[in-house]
A = this chain, B = another copy of it.
Amino acid sequence: MVGGAVAASLAVSTVIFTLLEHEGAQRLHLPLVRRTREPFDGAEALPGGWIGGDEGLEEAARRTLAETTGLRPSYLEQLYTFGRPDRSPTGRVVSVIYSALVRSPEAARVAEVHNVRWAPVDEVRGLAFDHDEVVAYALWRLRAKVGYAQVAVHLLGETFSLGQLREVHEAVLGRPLDPANFRRRVTASGAVEATDEHLTGGRHRPPRLYRAVVPEGATGPFQTTAGPAA
């Protein structure tokens, strides 16, 4: 299976979401890096890089993410592969796009070190290549997924209150949710389990803390919500 290969460059880029305080509310942000070479010199782009000769695709996503932003995501899944022949003006580039979530403290830790700007998702425009499109698609997928899969917990720490989890969902979906119904839906789904601890220091009644339950099928050949394990 060697011989027919063609000279396309293989890249990987990642759309990373996190929650940051913005105008008094938790809102979805993503990190952008400014390009320092042609094409699109000076424009902002998604973090990424070339795929190494001896690494898997997800591995490449993690490596380039660490190199360009220093981030270690708590969730990472393949999103889509873009390969229009004209998407880069300097030659054929096929990009495997990953989608990731990082917890806020991790994002804050990195913000001061690297040349990274955290942009609110709805203010992302004018990115290099077709990255505007990529971001819109990643956001659409995240919003769809938060409805049926346990992804939101990856934006929070080990334990969390149901109010905090609801705020995450609200930030992702961009609309308020009924606290009572949200609580019932989440607890009934079995996706979280109660701990004995409560969150103190708040201004009101201390909420019980919960922990995410690791799904059953996660050890099988396929993660049925994210794609094949390969």
Q: Which of A22-30, A82-90, A149-157, A202-210 contacts B (4 or more CB under 8 A)?
A: A82-90
Q: Shortest Cβ distance from A3 into chain B, in angstroms? A: 9
Most buried by B among A50, A90, A228: A228
Complex alpha-carbon distance, A51 and B4, angstroms: 9
Which chain A residues (1-40) contact chain B, with CB distance < 8 Å?
Answer: 1-2, 4-11, 37-39
The reply on A70 being an interface residue by CB < 8 A is no
Contact indicator A55/B85 (Cβ below 8 Å): yes
Cβ contacts under 8 Å, A4 to chain B = 9, 49-50
Q: Shortest Cβ distance from A96 into chain B, in angstroms? A: 5
Q: Is the interface of A mostly helix, strand, loop or mixed?
A: loop
Contact indicator A227/B85 (Cβ below 8 Å): no
Q: Shortest Cβ distance from A216 into chain B, in angstroms? A: 16
Contact indicator B81/A57 (Cβ below 8 Å): yes
Closest to A94 in B: B10
The reply on A76 being an interface residue by CB < 8 A is no
The interface on chain A, measured as residues whose beta carbon lies within 8 A of the other chain's beta carbons, has a size of 49
Q: Shortest Cβ distance from A133 into chain B, in angstroms? A: 6
Q: Which of A118-126, A134-142, A175-183, A191-199 contacts B (4 or more CB under 8 A)?
A: A134-142
Contact indicator A96/B83 (Cβ below 8 Å): yes
Cβ contacts under 8 Å, A221 to chain B = 133, 136
Q: Shortest Cβ distance from A125 into chain B, in angstroms? A: 14
A37-50 contact mask (Cβ, 8 Å, vs B): 1 or 0: 11100000000011
Contact indicator B133/A230 (Cβ below 8 Å): yes
Contact indicator B227/A137 (Cβ below 8 Å): yes
Q: Shortest Cβ distance from A223 into chain B, in angstroms? A: 10
Most buried by B among A6, A38, A82, A93: A6
Q: Which residues of A contact B (CB under 8 A)?
A: 1-2, 4-11, 37-39, 49-57, 78, 80-85, 87-88, 90-94, 96, 130, 133-134, 136-137, 140, 221-222, 224, 227-228, 230
Residue pairs across A and B with Cβ atoms less than 8 A apart, 8 shown, are A2-B91, A10-B10, A54-B92, A78-B80, A130-B230, A133-B221, A137-B227, A140-B224
